Amino acid sequence: MNKIKKSLVVLLFAVMPAVSFAQETRSLFKQTFEIVEIEIGDYLTLSVFNMPEDGQNHYYLDAGTLGIGDDLIQFNIDPLAHLFIPLGDTLEESQAKLEEFKALAKKPAGTIGETIGCMAIGYPSTEKMEPVCLTSRRFLTQKILEFSIEREGYVRAAHITKGDIGLMITNLKIYRKLHRKEK
């Protein structure tokens, strides 16, 4: 009986590769390529990444996790949902969009802008894009850009300093010089 079990297990492992190649595979996760990543403290990571689809590049800003609350107080209780902002289909468009964000952060406190984005777990979905309010804020000597989405009477917001946006732009410029063939 023991020999039969061993034979069945060996046969199963021998047949598995053939069966797996016969299946059409669909990945649950989309492939992403990290271009710029900035770690801020222990819990916040900002990044610019490429998520190509059908041979076309799509660049996104991962603005980090969103807090929940109102205009004044935000609690970071959701460690999974991230805010993804589409930057464009080329590195040049991505850099220009980040420079727009930096310019808005330099404006007087309370200046408002708008872009589109997606609050999602894992990676962005083009079907779930929604308006994102951009607000220039000040905290002591820092200039901050607030990315916010209103949901069910609550404000979900992520905050990025002008300095961090500038650091992402600098790193993106370096990446562009190192990868001149990538558009």
Let me know: does 148 contact 135? Beta carbons within 8 Å: yes
What would the two tokens of residue 83 be?
């805010």
Q: Which tokens is 84 given?
A: 């993804």
| pLDDT at residue 17, rounded to an integer | 59
Task: Identify the bridge partners of residue 160 per DSSP, sorted by sequence position.
Answer: 145
Rounded alpha-carbon distances, angstroms, from residue 180 to 76, 127, 158, 168 = 39, 31, 32, 18
pLDDT, position 114: 95
pLDDT at 107: 95
Residue 24 is predicted with a pLDDT of 42
Buried b or exposed e, range 31-62, using 16+ CB within 10 angstroms: ebeebbebeeeeebebbbbbbeeeeebbbbbb
pLDDT in tens, the chain (183 residues): 566 666 655 655 565 555 454 444 444 567 889 999 998 876 678 999 999 988 899 999 999 888 877 666 666 666 788 999 999 999 999 999 999 999 999 999 999 999 999 999 888 988 889 999 999 999 888 999 999 998 888 888 888 999 999 999 999 999 999 988 877
